[in-house]
Chains A and B, each alone.
Chain A
């Protein structure tokens, strides 16, 4: 037992002596940043017993109001950084280790952890352009919108923008101002009167579905789904259509059926048939369509 205790005590004495003589080599968990190399054997310059490296010790050298503008030695920085200065001046009650670390190598980059916007005071968060001075894109849409980037962008990533047309104010009605090449070149859209506005059928949330009321011409049902190509099989022509594309509507059969009923003019199906309901047509039948009767008149 005595022998065992002897080894324990001897190791403890050797270890502690080495620790006090060469703290950097014996307990330092990693290389200090270049600017702190002169502190490498003076752990207590940054550390306090029991509380790590408190902010007070950092800011006793790195004065918040001077960060970015002056060096610790009070010499004016060769590359003054107002943005860094503004950031450090504005944040209060934040521990330095929230963004900075040490014992991570000589490079200054290694001593900076990921910055998060969450540490910024509210006032600063609302003024993105104070820091991101060069970030406002010079294009039509950004020129129309004022300064509040956070309406569309988040602090996580610039490119996850959620544009809201409402931000454009009155300008949101001038769709073609921005959507210059977006007008569809189909017969339906080209044929529209120039006074017709996109917003009469479409809204700013999504281009599709539009509020165009197809049921004025034909109502869809399970046998007649709203797939344009079912009936409008000529590309980009929506004014012409055909009902003769399915098993049910064979020209010879339809012709025979209508003639049997005494209907001679049945080229424009939707004139009488506004839905798949065959009986509905009976109410809509224009007696004048009955060629034989009109002939007799």
Chain B
């Protein structure tokens, strides 16, 4: 039972995270091997735009924009978050120079990990909700009664709200550090 839980719930999320780190190291290594290290600088810009695009889901969720399927946008949010993070990780490379860009990078990795945790929690809460629905059916409750009971069920809402209390501040810390890094680069770099 415990093994099945680890295999079906924990491992998929962990694999997504590990594949991100391994892909970044591999890509960075290949760029060094091919003498194309300079590309890394521009991957930072590309990664930033991809991550900005991933925030469309957040805007839709807060009803700032009103079109688009939330489910589809959430999938995009996950994918764009992964790709954007990969590009920025390669951009950062393994260089320990300035503290602020490194804090931004570190915060970004934590946000990705937090996002994957949220993905896992959402899946788990949905399954628990399904179990509860099955239980109510067994108790011979009517469809109306089941719907009413599930509507007031705080299972899904509670879990995600608790998680969001962690995910959002982390995202804000990442955005703030990244913003300082971007503004300093825009001001100091020759374009």
A residues bordering B, Cβ < 8 Å?
3-5, 7-9, 11-12, 15-16, 18-19, 25-31, 43, 47, 49-54, 97, 103
Judge whether B188 and A15 touch: CB under 8 Å.
no
Q: A8 contacts which chain B residues (CB < 8 A)?
A: 172-173, 175-176
Judge whether B100 and A52 touch: CB under 8 Å.
no
With both chains docked as a complex, state the minimum distance between the C-beta of A49 and any C-beta of chain B, in angstroms.
Answer: 5
**Contact A51-B190, Cβ < 8 Å, known A3-B169, A7-B173:** yes
| B168 interfacial contact with A, CB 8 Å | yes
Chain B, residue nearest A46 (CB): B188
Chain B, residues 93-129, CB within 8 Å of chain A (1/0): the string is 0010111110100000000000000000000000000
Judge whether A19 and B184 touch: CB under 8 Å.
yes
Chain B, residue nearest A24 (CB): B98
Q: B103 contacts which chain A residues (CB < 8 A)?
A: 15
**Contact A47-B100, Cβ < 8 Å, known A4-B168, A7-B169, A7-B172:** no
Q: How many residues of B contact A (CB 8 A)?
A: 25
Count CB-based A-B contacts (< 8 Å).
Answer: 70
A12 is contacted by which of B95, B165, B180, B189 (Cβ under 8 Å)? Answer: B180
A16 is contacted by which of B98, B175, B180 (Cβ under 8 Å)? Answer: B180
A19 is contacted by which of B95, B100, B168, B173 (Cβ under 8 Å)? Answer: B100
**Contact A12-B176, Cβ < 8 Å, known A7-B169, A27-B100, A30-B97:** yes
- Scan residues 148-174 of chain B and give those whose CB is less than 8 A from a CB of chain A: 165, 168-169, 171-173
Please measure, in the bound complex, the distance between the C-alpha atom of A231 and the C-alpha atom of B1, giving whole angstroms. 91
Which 3 pairs of residues, A with B, have the shortest CB-CB distance?
A52-B190, A11-B176, A8-B172
Please measure, in the bound complex, the distance between the C-alpha atom of A19 and the C-alpha atom of B188, giving whole angstroms. 13
Judge whether B98 and A11 touch: CB under 8 Å.
no
Q: A103 contacts which chain B residues (CB < 8 A)?
A: 97
Please measure, in the bound complex, the distance between the C-alpha atom of A204 and the C-alpha atom of B149, giving whole angstroms. 101
Please measure, in the bound complex, the distance between the C-alpha atom of A27 and the C-alpha atom of B102, giving whole angstroms. 10
Please measure, in the bound complex, the distance between the C-alpha atom of A5 and the C-alpha atom of B189, giving whole angstroms. 29
Q: A18 contacts which chain B residues (CB < 8 A)?
A: 99-100
Please name 10 further chain A to chain B contacts, defined as beta carbons within 8 Å, in addition to the given A7-B173, A16-B180, sorted by A numbering.
Answer: A3-B169, A4-B168, A7-B168, A7-B169, A7-B176, A8-B175, A15-B180, A19-B184, A26-B100, A49-B187
